[in-house]
């Protein structure tokens, strides 16, 4: 029998990711830019059980900072 004191309960991480549309809105760019940035590794995503893709909130500040510095809005290399 497993020791219950060593078992970590699995907690949902609701609120830790946003839809592609919401990420584009927060960054002030297009959906296409969000998809390009995902492909280029600038934004990180997770897949839901329903297979939709969601952008991790933790990856948004870096992308926003790049946009503020005048980075590429089309997702191409800067």
Task: Specify the pLDDT at position 77.
Answer: 47
| Helices 20-27, 60-68: inter-axial angle, 10-degree rounding | 40
The mean pLDDT value for 16-29 works out to 94
Instruction: For the chain, give the percent of residues with pLDDT over 90.
Output: 49
Report which of 25, 46, 27, 42 is spatially closest to residue 76, judged by C-alpha positions.
42
Rounded CA separation 63/13 (Å): 22
User: Does position 10 have pLDDT exceeding 70, yes or no?
Assistant: no
33, 24 contact by CB (below 8 A): yes
Read off the pLDDT band of 8 (50, 70, 90).
very low
Please tell me the class of the 15-68 domain: mainly alpha
Domain ranges of the chain: 15-68
Report which of 76, 64, 52, 62 is spatially closest to residue 24, judged by C-alpha positions.
64
Report which of 52, 51, 33 is spatially closest to residue 43, judged by C-alpha positions.
33
**Digit-coded pLDDT (tens) for 56-66:** 999 999 888 88
pTM (2 d.p.): 0.68
**Digit-coded pLDDT (tens) for 41-54:** 999 999 888 888 99
């Amino acid at each position: 029998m497993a020791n219950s004191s060593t078992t970590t309960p699995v907690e949902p991480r609701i609120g830790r990711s946003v839809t592609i549309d919401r990420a584009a809105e927060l960054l002030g760019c297009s959906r296409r830019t969000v998809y390009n940035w995902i492909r280029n590794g600038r934004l990180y995503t997770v897949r839901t059980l329903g297979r939709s893709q969601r952008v991790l909130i933790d990856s948004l500040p870096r992308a926003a900072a790049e946009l503020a510095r005048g980075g590429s809005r089309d997702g191409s290399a800067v």
